[in-house]
């Protein structure tokens, strides 16, 4: 986890800091009291959870070590934060419901179809996603001394694009309500896409 976070926070990458700022807005954007963060990893952004707003925030990850580290990092959130070790590809049926679903840099690893299943199980009012796009033909992981933290991820990485994600969400009854773009170093960009369940 440390190598992953070190890589993501390098000046030449700047993804951890950028995602942290975006997560602050994701947590505040909607009138909800329950949220779920998919692929919570080390808990980046959880410091923006306001306990006067949130009754429950689920942190979901496949890696039990990450979840233990998150619980240790945020003892002040122990009344609100519920860490769940779930493999989204095989165990999506174990997910509870939540009003807001946050999926940052995660759909790339599980694919659109699994993500659709997850959304249908969680039944959120709002979905807020962050996807990374390569503006040029660069490799999807920026060069750094910590590249080994991404070994074998090539095997599961799916290239994302906004149009496909919007179409997949529409098919399960979610309309796009927000789209923003944040430029990153190394020819990459974050696209935030928010969706609302259609009535």
Set out the domains of the chain in order of their start, with CATH numbers: 2-197 (3.40.50.150)
Count other Cβ atoms within 10 Å, centred on residue 122.
21
Residue 108 is predicted with a pLDDT of: 92
- Round the average pLDDT of the chain to a whole number and report it: 87
Q: What is the pTM of this model?
A: 0.85
Q: Are 87 and 60 in contact (CB under 8 A)?
A: no
Q: How far apart are CA 149 and CA 7, in angstroms?
A: 8
Residue 185 is predicted with a pLDDT of: 79
Q: Is 70 exceeded by the pLDDT of residue 157?
A: no
Confidence of residue 112 (pLDDT cuts 50, 70, 90): very high
């Amino acid at each position: 986890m440390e190598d992953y976070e070190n890589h993501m926070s390098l000046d030449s990458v700047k993804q951890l800091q950028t995602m942290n700022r975006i997560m602050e807005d994701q947590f505040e954007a909607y009138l909800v009291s329950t949220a779920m963060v998919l692929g919570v990893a080390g808990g980046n952004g959880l410091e923006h959870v306001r306990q006067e707003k949130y009754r429950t925030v689920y942190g979901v990850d496949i890696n039990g070590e990450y979840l233990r580290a998150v619980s240790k990092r945020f003892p002040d959130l122990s009344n609100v934060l519920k860490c769940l070790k779930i493999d989204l590809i095989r165990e999506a049926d174990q997910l509870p419901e939540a009003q807001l679903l946050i999926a940052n840099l995660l759909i790339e690893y599980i694919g659109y179809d699994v993500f659709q299943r997850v959304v249908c199980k969680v039944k959120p009012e709002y979905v807020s996603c962050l996807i990374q796009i390569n503006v040029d033909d660069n490799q999807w992981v920026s060069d750094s001394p910590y590249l080994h933290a991404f070994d074998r991820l090539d095997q599961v990485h799916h290239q994302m694009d906004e149009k496909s994600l919007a179409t997949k969400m529409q098919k399960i009854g979610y309309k796009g309500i927000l789209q923003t773009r944040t430029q990153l170093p190394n020819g990459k960009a974050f696209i935030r896409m928010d969706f609302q369940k259609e009535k």
